[in-house]
Amino acid sequence: MKFLWKSVSDFEIVTFEKELLNQEVRQHVRSFNKKILVRDIVEIGVAVMIIPMGVFIAYLLPDFFIRTGAMLLIPSALLIIYKILRARRFKKPGQHFISNQEYLENNLVNYQNQKQLLGSVLYWYILPPGICALLILTGLDLPAMKFYYALSITIGLGYIVYWLNKVTISKKIDPLIKRLEEELGELKGM
């Protein structure tokens, strides 16, 4: 036993620890990718449901502002679908047939796309539907107090979505990007 213990070199131990670290990174990446996929499916599903809802509201209510806001929901929902699908456009090779470096580079591109997507959520996810909601609220001809109450709820929801996306970037995506960059640096330095 003593002979076997002394025969193990430091290089073998480092390689073993590195492989465990690679497995940990891959497991974390797979888990995060599943969460992104579920989020994308839910977001696209909601956007698809908004399209017929906009048509129905525009058909049902004759007011110009309501009809305009409802019809603008359609391109707004299509923009959301486009942006989500565009962020997923990177080509993801089979995980079992690529090297660690290719795997990490591929996922790094994915997370950089996700960071850009979530960082610009105000312009493509919050403002277009917010403008539609403002038009619909204007057309409802609500008393001033109810109008401002509904408007404040709309703005508040938009802020919450914006804030949640910023927190996701800083707490989840940025650390993962940093870790992948460190792993890539170590692989390229070998």
- Domain ranges within the chain, ordered by starting residue: 9-84+94-189
The percent of residues in the chain predicted with pLDDT above 90, rounded, is: 62
Residue 115 pLDDT: 94
Output the six-digit token pair for 149.
């109450």
The predicted-structure confidence for 65-75, as pLDDT tens digits, reads as follows: 999 999 999 99
The predicted-structure confidence for 2-49, as pLDDT tens digits, reads as follows: 444 444 444 444 444 556 656 777 788 888 889 999 999 999 999 999
Cα(107)–Cα(177) distance, rounded to whole angstroms? 9
User: Is the predicted pLDDT of residue 117 greater than 70, yes or no?
Assistant: yes
Query: Looking up tokens 């001809």, which residue turns up?
Result: 141
Output the six-digit token pair for 26.
């891959």
Helix (H) or strand (E) holding 15: helix 10-60
Contacts of 11 (CB under 8 A, 6+ apart): none
Chain center to CA of 91: 17
CB 139 within 8 A of CB 65: yes
Output the six-digit token pair for 183.
């792993």
CB 83 within 8 A of CB 117: yes
Question: Alpha helices of 61-143 — where are they, by DSSP H?
Answer: 64-87, 100-119, 121, 127-139
Report, as an integer, the average pLDDT of 84-105: 74
The percent of residues in the chain predicted with pLDDT above 70, rounded, is: 83
User: Is the predicted pLDDT of residue 51 greater than 80, yes or no?
Assistant: yes
Output the six-digit token pair for 73.
């929901």
